[in-house]
Structure 1
């Protein structure tokens, strides 16, 4: 299953194994079991520290467990972890084999200190770019704490199980048989949910921080660029982000970032964070801003209040909170989110194999989603509010060539229908005739653009009628000392490269503001503490 180049790369990685491991496979007579056995045989042949057994007794077949020989340390995979999950497989091999993780020692100690027994099951799809972070975090937890067990399950391969447990989005995590989490989460987020005292401890640490010269709120491309430019000026810089990487984490393929021929969102987000941390920036992740208190006069401190009750103070603030998927705002959408209503066709599409789905939105994102889904599902209905599609013509031509796609124009979605457990249909109104039509289907993929994350700023900075932060050419907002950049602002064309440039612009403007208001952050911090 592995080509020679991949085998060579994997063999080099496996040289880092410090302890012997066993691959214990549970197989049947099916084609997928034969594929898995072939993969495991190839892996075992690459290192004398790996032994293969095919006498596993797991009811899920094909599946396998990676076991640290002679110990209780183990992680499991049900299915064949290729695609996006191949990296998860490699990391699991190394970590079970004793190779240390690069995760913070503080966080690993927190995992090791967890008391009780935890049995995690994660459903993933091989095309999901968000799933590996969840799988890798839970695998690492199982390596660090033997009372934690984790198995990652390919939902497309175990469709009966997915149906029975009503899994309609990936990644979906069960803990001790009960739903635990759905969507992308990292190790810190999982621990924040399990360790109830973590938030209070983090709030106490934040309260002890001195004021910053530049505080960036948001960790997407704009925030990362702003932080790097500020830190390189030699001034005290901090980043408070709800999740570092922002909307980029949910982006499948990036092919228009100049000088980078192709990358994927999670890879770019990891590179952004590494770049920021390398510049000695104080990164405060999992911190949601709830209010901004403007300075009494230029040069005084700006306060950012956080959801955990703590506040951060800074001589200048750069707002780069980005945007999120826009919702339809119709009855049934919230009720059936992750129960048939989805926002990521790449992630969740494989769970709807052979079913009927709708895509809402006729822009590039909507048409691309319909094209992708058409290769998986039985039928796609693309619903567009306007009288014509807005996607690029090349995409429209491809869409029109697909036999299992119907396009409905000039239609308003009025309700997502369901049976209380999952989506069963969609109601929409013909805007020309006012006729209401219902479609029988099992999935609705919403692709209608973005909404700026600025609700928390109402009343503190000027916002446009669309909720975007109003900025000038320098990234200045209506509040002295407060700047903004990226998709949350009025800057046209919401693109990664534009957000990065806007972040740099806002950072340079903030530095210019600081040199005109000369009180150092140390002195300002003393005032804040008084």
Structure 2
């Protein structure tokens, strides 16, 4: 089942297994069970510390557990964790086998100190690039704390279960039988939600931090580049981010990043974070900015950043790189049925709509690519575009029009999402030419209509464009002295990863230039005179 190259790589990884582990398979007579049995047999043959047994005692078949022999430590997969989840399988084997995690010591200790019993179930799809982070985080938690159990479930393989539990978005996590959360989550985010006192403890730590020379707000490509360029100047650099990696984590494939033929968003996001951590940067993740207070006599010439947890950071300069988020339709019913049929990631959630009727909103490259991908999974796709023609590249349009189960509707405006209280049942749209209203019966709506800058919290503080973007000049300078900006949140004309990185670097260099030309406050001047 594993190709020769993967076979060799996996064998090398499994040499790191330090303690004996047992794979316990629960199978039936299905083809999928036979496929899983073949995979598990290959894995067991690669290490003398791994044994395979079959018990068929789990209610989900095919499934398997990975247990550390003689302990309560283990994880479980329901399905065949290939595709994006193969890495989750490898990490589970290593961690159950005693290989240490790369999580920080503080996080590991926090997991081990959790009280109570936690039974997690995560529904994933093999094409979901957001799911592995959640699966791997919960697997690690179950390895570190015997009071935590986790099973990762392939939603496409357990369609009846998905229907019964009304899972319409992945990853969806249940805790002790109740919905815990949906969407991409890091280990730190999961812990923050369980350990309710962690936010207050973190706020106290942040309040005690010294003044920064450069404070970067945002952890996407622009923020990462800014932090690296600032830190390389040897100045005190901090980075506060609501989610390190930003929007790039939600990107399926990246094929235009110069010098890299192909990569995926989560992989690039992890590389960005590791690169930043190679430098002396104070990273404050899971921190949402709420207010920017410009430098003034009252702040001692420092810019202040107020966070949602009540803490305040001070810095001589600031680089704003808060990025953007998916634009919503903004119609009645959209928020009500989010993750109940209204989705924004066709790669992640598409497999859950197998055999169903769906619509894609948006006729740009993202929308047309989504419609092409979904057409191979669902029974029918209707693409709805506001303009009188599609805006996607010609090659994508030709591919789309060649598909037999796709309809294209142009000059149309979605006006309402309908549902039965549990899930989407229809989309209402208006023909912009005839003004006639139409109701399209369907089970899913995938919204692909561009981005909105994350700048609402900055209104009234600095200059924003009519689109809400931070107005910058060629140096990344905003309307506030000492405050710079970069990336998708700004007026830069092209929202691309490589451009954001360049803009972040520019903003950091401009901040450094501002620092070396900044007049010393009286107190600093006096200290230098005494030192002399």
Scaled to the shorter chain, the TM-score interval is: over 0.9
1:141, distance to aligned residue in structure 2 (A): 0.2
Which runs of structure 2 are paired with 1:475-486 in the superposition (5 Å)?
Answer: 475-486=476-487
**CA deviations over 1:158-188 (Å, ceiling 9, x no partner):** 0000000000000000000000010000110
Query: Which structure 2 residues correspond to residues 82-481 of structure 1 after superposition, within 5 A?
Result: 82-296=82-296, 300-481=301-482
Change (3 A) 1:97 1:215: same
Change beyond 3 A, Cα 1:239–1:521:
farther
CA–CA distance in structure 1, aligned partners of residues 82 and 385 of structure 2:
35
CA contact 1:211–1:522 (8 Å) conserved in 2: no
CA contact (8 A) 1:32 1:62 kept: yes
Q: How do residues 37-48 of structure 1 correspond to structure 2 at under 5 angstroms?
A: 37-48=37-48
**Equivalent residues of 1:22, 1:69 under 8 A apart:** yes
CA distance, structure 1, for counterparts of residue 282 and residue 518 of structure 2: 23
Retained in 1: the 8 A contact 2:28–2:56? no
The change in CA–CA distance for 1:455 and 1:521 in structure 2 (over 3 A counts) is: farther
SS at match of 1:464: coil
SS at match of 1:169: coil
Contact 2:120–2:149, Cα closer than 8 Å, also in 1:
yes
Distance 1:429 1:132, change over 3 A: same
In 1, the alpha carbon distance for the partners of 2:149 and 2:258 equals 42
Secondary structure of the residue that 2:153 maps to in structure 1? strand
Q: What is the CA deviation profile of residues 346-403 of structure 1, one whole-angstrom value per residue up to 9, with x for unaligned ones?
A: 0000000000000000000000000000000000000000000000000000000000
1:314 deviation in Å?
A: 0.2
Q: Distance in 2 between matches of 1:520 and 1:63?
A: 66
**1:120·1:175 contact (CA, 8 Å) conserved in 2?**
yes
4+ residue segments displaced more than 2 Å: 518-524
Say whether 1:500 aligns with 2:501: yes
Q: Write the mapping of 1:50-61 to structure 2, written as runs, cut at 5 A.
A: 50-61=50-61
Asked whether the equivalents of residues 212 and 521 of structure 1 are also in contact (C-alpha less than 8 Å), the reply is: no
* Contact 2:214-2:238 at 8 Å conserved across structures: yes
Could you tell me how far 1:4 is from its partner in structure 2? 1.1
Query: Any idea what SS the aligned residue of 2:108 has?
Result: helix
| Partner Cα separation in structure 1 for residue 450 and residue 251 of structure 2 | 13
Query: Unpaired segments of 5 or more residues in structure 2?
Result: 528-532
Alpha carbons 1:299, 1:519 under 8 Å: kept: no
Alpha-carbon distance, 1:55 to partner:
1.0
Give the distance between the partners of 1:433 and 1:339, measured in 2 at CA: 31
Query: In structure 1, how many angstroms separate the alpha carbons of the residues matched to 2:511 and 2:523?
Result: 17
Given that residues 120 and 150 in structure 2 are in contact (C-alpha distance below 8 angstroms), is that contact kept between their aligned partners in structure 1?
yes
Partner Cα distance (2:104, 2:347) in 1: 31
Deviation at 1:519, TM superposition (A): 3.6
Say if 1:299 and 1:517, in contact at 8 Å, map to a contact too.
no
What secondary structure, in the 3-state scheme, does the structure 1 residue paired with 2:339 have? coil
Asked if the contact 1:299–1:315 (Cα under 8 Å) also holds between the matched residues in 2, the reply is: no
The answer to whether the 8 Å contact 1:486/1:498 transfers is: yes
Question: Offset at 1:518?
Answer: 4.5
What displacement does 1:522 show?
11
Q: Give the alignment's TM-score, normalised by structure 2.
A: 0.97
Q: How much does 1:523 deviate? A: 5.6
Aligned equivalents of 1:477, 1:121: Cα separation in 2: 46
Q: What CA distance in whole angstroms lies between the structure 2 residues aligned with 1:322 and 1:299?
A: 29
Pairs within 5 Å for 1:25-40: 25-40=25-40
CA distance in 2, matches of 1:507, 1:114: 40
CA distance in 1, matches of 2:265, 2:410: 31
Residue deviations 1:409-455 (CA, integer Å, cap 9, x gap)? 00000001100000001000000101000011000000000000000
**2:530 — aligned with what?**
none
> Bigger CA drift: 501-510 or 294-303?
294-303
Separation (CA, whole Å) in 1 of partners of 2:292 and 2:71: 51
- Per-residue CA deviation, residues 210-231 of structure 1 (Å, 9 max, x unaligned), is 0100000000000011110100
* SS of corresponding position for 1:391: coil
**1:9 aligned partner:** 9
Q: Matches of 2:454 and 2:379 in 1, distance apart?
A: 36
Unmatched 5+ residue regions in structure 1?
A: none
Deviations along 1:40-80, one digit per CA (max 9) or x if unpaired, are: 00000000000001113100000000000111001000000
Secondary structure of residue in 1 paired with 2:219: coil
Cα gap change, 1:456 to 1:410, in 2 (>3 Å): same
TM-score with structure 1 setting the length:
0.98
Measured in 2, the distance between the counterparts of 1:36 and 1:70 equals 25
The whole-number CA distance in structure 1 between the counterparts of 2:59 and 2:255 is 42
Give the superposition deviation at 1:316.
Answer: 0.2
1:34 & 1:285 partners in 2: Cα distance? 43
